């Protein structure tokens, strides 16, 4: 079971902050050329995977 909401992660990484930072990679996507969309989604997917792995450690 996880600690209290807002408690610091003992590894020093906050998975919620990592998720928020990853999702920020999609900001303004609609205004960017379509050719950039796949790369942006791949970066976000990788960052979310890293956050999930760090959160489960």
pLDDT the model gives residue 12:
57
Predicted confidence (pLDDT) per residue in 1-53, tens digit: 344 444 444 455 678 888 899 999 999 999 999 999 999 999 999 999 988 88
Q: Is the pTM of this model over 0.85?
A: no
Tokens matching residue 40:
């942006």
pLDDT the model gives residue 4:
41
Is the dihedral angle over the CA atoms 23, 25, 28, 33 positive or is it negative? negative
CB contact set of 29 (below 8 Å; sequence gap of 6+): 36, 37, 40
Best CA proximity match to 37, nearest among 46, 50, 28: 28
């Amino acid at each position: 079971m996880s600690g209290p909401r807002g408690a610091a992660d003992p590894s020093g990484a906050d998975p919620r902050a990592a998720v928020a930072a990853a999702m920020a990679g999609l900001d303004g996507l609609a205004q960017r050329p379509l050719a950039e969309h796949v790369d942006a989604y791949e970066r976000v997917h990788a960052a979310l995977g890293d956050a999930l792995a760090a959160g489960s450690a």
